[in-house]
Amino acid sequence: MRREAIGLALSVLLFALCTSAEAQPHGRTAPRIGFLSTAALSSLSPRLDAFQQGLRELGFIEGKNIAIEYRSAEGKPDRLPELAAELVRLKVDCIVTAGETPTHAAKQATSTIPIIMTTVGDPVGLGFVASLARPGGNITGLSTYSTDLAGKRLELLKETIPKLSRVVIVSDPRSLAAEVKETEAAARLLKVQLIVLEVQNLDDLENAFRSIVKSRVDAIVIGTGGFFNTNQTRLVELAAKHRLPGMYLEQEFVLAGGLMTYATSIPDLYRRSATFVDKILKGAKPADLPVEQPKKFEFLINLKTAKEIGLTIPPNVLARADRVIK
């Protein structure tokens, strides 16, 4: 009887161990993922929701069988190296980065922990990977880059404002340089004068808008970068104050009151980044995982903002929108 009881107890213990092993595929209590961002986490809510949704679709539930260590520089890029080093000390299984500057900080902090970039424009040009097909190091993930987006944005502005002749692009020089070059090329084709203003802090931003008002431009294009994401509310307020039609490169700005965006679906990239986490936790090497490019693009118009700044959106432009905010 005693032998049977001991046998039963051992069977129960073995079953429990097997179940635990299945629930935790990485061989410890729970895999730990690092997340590194320049922008405040509150400004990234739709993206983080999409990332968590992607994880859930793959069987990972935060707080249950996976842990996420969030680190944000709160709009201060100089804090990123310290935050990246902190994630390395925590011995996370991989680091998911939100943009070029966090990716650079993570790259400087570790050459062994896998890094999954979510929103990097030109990972080859920036030296993060050897090529899109064969990254070759400890970095892989998703690029936001897609050819001709700049041209389509200016075309949409031209259709919306037929008399468009002068446009300002507000750009962060620490971000994707290709977007400025492509916008300049598109402006030449459309015979639109383009003014480039570089912004890296709030003082630059206020000065830029004073210059924009004096220049009597017809519209603005806002570039990408953690600084812009952190200060999206102020950017939208300044555009509205001066009744400037704005084309933004990310949909959160339009949801916050910007006029329009035609861009890569960033939430879709975040959702897809979960597949890289899954593959790496199952043993794949970043060097062997090709960098993926955008598959989903969205054209959003904030009709409420258009009315507030006295702009009538032509019916043919409205008909092309994926989403209209009223």
Q: Are both 68 and 211 inside the same structural domain?
A: no
Q: Which domain holds residue 56?
A: 2-145+267-295
Q: What is the CATH number of the domain that holds 34?
A: 3.40.50.2300
Task: Answer yes or no: do 122 and 228 share one domain.
Answer: no
Count of structural domains within the chain? 2
Instruction: Give every CB contact of residue 91 below 8 A, 6+ residues apart in sequence.
Output: 32
Average pLDDT over every residue of 172-177: 69
Same-domain check for residues 278 and 156: no
Same structural domain for residues 155 and 232? yes
Residues 177 and 280 in one domain: no
Residues 117 and 33 in one domain: yes
The radius of gyration of the chain from alpha carbons, rounded to an integer in Å, stands at 23
Q: Sheet containing 94-98: give its strands across.
A: 67-72, 32-37, 94-98, 115-120, 139-143
Same domain as 319, residue 271 = no
For the whole prediction, is pTM greater than 0.85? no
Residue range 115-125: mean pLDDT, rounded:
90
The reply to whether 154 and 233 lie within a common domain is yes
Whether the per-residue pLDDT at 193 is higher than 60: the answer is: yes
Judgement on whether residues 277 and 210 belong to the same structural domain of the protein: no
Q: Report pLDDT digits (tens) over 288-301.
A: 999 999 988 899 99
Together in a domain, 208 and 78: no
Same domain for 33 and 47, yes or no, is yes
Determine the Cα angle at 67 with ends 66 and 68, to 5°: 125
